[in-house]
Amino acid sequence: MEKNKLQDQIDDYLRYSQIERGLSSNTITAYRQDLEEYLAFVKKEGMDSWPTEASDVDAFLARQYDLNKATSSISRLISSMRKFYQWLARQNIQKLNPMLEIDLPKKERRLPVALNQKEINDLLAQPDIKRKLGLRDRAILETLYATGMRVSELINLELQDLHEDLGLVRVLGKGSKERLIPISSVALHWIKQYQKEVRDPLILKAGQNDEHIFLNSRAKQLTRQAIWQMIKKYCQSAGITKDVTPHTLRHTFATHLLENGADLRVVQEILGHSDISTTQIYTNLSQKHILQVYQKTHPRL
């Protein structure tokens, strides 16, 4: 009877979260999964009410680690349980809250995947520049590698954002923050060639104007998905076996700058990071490169 009451409390809490707090169905589903997993533990331990001791909660979380759950999943689980216990207290169902003594696990900081110089050169050489889409794709790849901008920033670039005489491009980043970043003469060359041979004739043929620089074959703005499908395709044809993510060229850009002596603050500004700790993750990659160079070149090793 009591154990059914615990299930009823979960149902009441989720109903409250959906109706009163207006949480999405996806969030409600995630909460239900987390709390019913906790309920299964409580039942297995033969408890008739929600644990009030932090040691019991620790035992439950230890089992999650034993199942090799990701740190992010366990953090979400703890967050779900915290909110549930707060609701129990507000409803005068249970005042003692063991979650006050439970800390979130330290966030895992995985090193980003970056391409080495040979891999990036091979990737840039993949598009067939004799074809219109190939010329466009080459210009896209060169721009991403030259600037380190996000894909979402690239698809929103407009002709007015290019300042060729200054070698700069205006980017609208997260939170609608503007920044001016350098762009190489090589990337500008490919953009100009694409614009002259592909983009402008396409606009003329379509009979409609679009200020975005990079367009699809129907003279419409490109999507993020289209660009990353294209990049994955070229990585595959270049024989690159690394796990390429939507940020691979951005990671590669930052890593190569630091490997060649760029100041961390400069890289932070170019990438548009508000906090330098976000940029510092790339120093781990560049330090690895420094160690490799040292081991290869020092005469007394």
| Whole-number pLDDT of residue 274 | 82
- Give me the catalytic one of 63, 90, 95, 174: 174
| Whole-number pLDDT of residue 281 | 78
CA distance 94 to 96: 6
- Give me the catalytic one of 138, 150, 212, 251: 150
**Residue 220 a catalytic site member:** no
2-101: CATH superfamily: Tyrosine recombinase, N-terminal domain (1.10.150.130)
Tens of pLDDT along the chain (301 residues) come to 455 899 999 999 999 999 988 888 888 999 999 999 999 999 998 898 999 999 999 999 988 888 888 888 899 999 999 999 999 999 999 989 999 999 888 766 666 789 999 999 999 999 999 999 999 999 999 999 999 999 999 999 999 999 999 999 999 887 778 999 999 999 999 999 999 999 999 998 988 888 999 999 999 999 999 999 999 999 999 999 998 887 899 999 999 999 888 888 999 999 988 888 778 877 776 666 667 766 777 676 6
Q: What six digits make up the tokens of 294?
A: 């040292």
- Give me the catalytic one of 136, 138, 212, 250: 250
**Residue 300 a catalytic site member:** no
- Give me the catalytic one of 69, 132, 170, 273: 273
**Residue 282 a catalytic site member:** yes
**Residue 163 a catalytic site member:** no
- Residue ranges of the chain that CATH labels 1.10.443.10: 117-297
| Whole-number pLDDT of residue 1 | 40
- Residue ranges of the chain that CATH labels 1.10.150.130: 2-101
**Residue 174 a catalytic site member:** yes
- Is the pTM value of this prediction over 0.85? no
Exposure on the CB side of residue 113, measured as CA atoms within 13 A: 11
The CATH T-level fold of domain 117-297 is hpI Integrase; Chain A (1.10.443)
- Give me the catalytic one of 69, 83, 247, 289: 247
| Whole-number pLDDT of residue 214 | 96
CA distance 224 to 144: 13
| Whole-number pLDDT of residue 73 | 87
- Give me the catalytic one of 38, 85, 194, 282: 282
**Residue 150 a catalytic site member:** yes
Q: Are the CB atoms for 285 and 112 separated by under 8 Å?
A: yes
- Backbone phi and psi for residue 181, each to the nearest 5 degrees, phi listed first: -125, 150
Q: Are the CB atoms for 195 and 181 separated by under 8 Å?
A: no
| Whole-number pLDDT of residue 295 | 77
